[in-house]
Amino acid sequence: MSFDPRVTPARPDLAAAHLRGKVQAARYAEGSEQEVIAGIAPVRDSPSHDATQVTEALRGDRVTVYETDEEGWSWGQLASDGYVGWLPSAALLTPDASPTHKVTALRTLVFPGPSIKSPPLDALPLGAQVSVATEQESFAVLASGGYVPKLHLAALDAKEADFVAVAERFVGAPYLWGGKSSMGLDCSGLVQVALTACGIKCPRDSDMQEKALGKAANLAGLQAGDLIFWKGHVAIARGRNSMIHANAFHMSVTIEPVGDAVARIAAGGSPVTSVRRLKA
What number is the average pLDDT over the span 129-154? 97
Q: What percent of the chain has pLDDT over 70?
A: 99
Question: Among 16, 9, 33, 47, which residue's Cα sits nearest to residue 93?
Answer: 33
Q: What percent of the chain has pLDDT over 90?
A: 98
d(CA 202, CA 32) in angstroms, rounded, equals 24
What number is the average pLDDT over the span 82-109? 97
Instruction: Quote the pLDDT of residue 1.
Output: 56
Question: Among 213, 236, 210, 209, which residue's Cα sits nearest to residue 224?
Answer: 236
Instruction: Quote the pLDDT of residue 195.
Output: 98
Give the pLDDT band (50/70/90) at residue 2: confident
Please write the tens of the pLDDT for every residue from 221-258.
999 999 999 999 999 999 999 999 999 999 999 999 99
Instruction: Quote the pLDDT of residue 62.
Output: 98
Give the pLDDT band (50/70/90) at residue 280: low
d(CA 277, CA 213) in angstroms, rounded, equals 8
DSSP state of 10: B
Are β-strands 129-130 and 62-68 bridged in parallel, bridged antiparallel, or unpaired? Answer: unpaired
Question: Would you say residue 185 has pLDDT above 80?
Answer: yes
Instruction: Quote the pLDDT of residue 128.
Output: 98
Give the C-alpha distances (Å, rounded to integers) separating 53 from 42, 64, 70, 211, 261. Answer: 6, 18, 20, 23, 26
Give the pLDDT band (50/70/90) at residue 45: very high
Give the pLDDT band (50/70/90) at residue 279: confident
What number is the average pLDDT over the span 22-34? 97
What number is the average pLDDT over the span 260-271? 96
Give the pLDDT band (50/70/90) at residue 159: very high
Strand partners, 84: 77
What number is the average pLDDT over the span 68-91? 98
Backbone dihedral region for residue 28 (phi beyond 0: left; psi -120 to 50: alpha; all else: beta): beta
d(CA 147, CA 123) in angstroms, rounded, equals 11
Question: Would you say residue 215 has pLDDT above 80?
Answer: yes
Element (H, E) at 167: helix 163-168
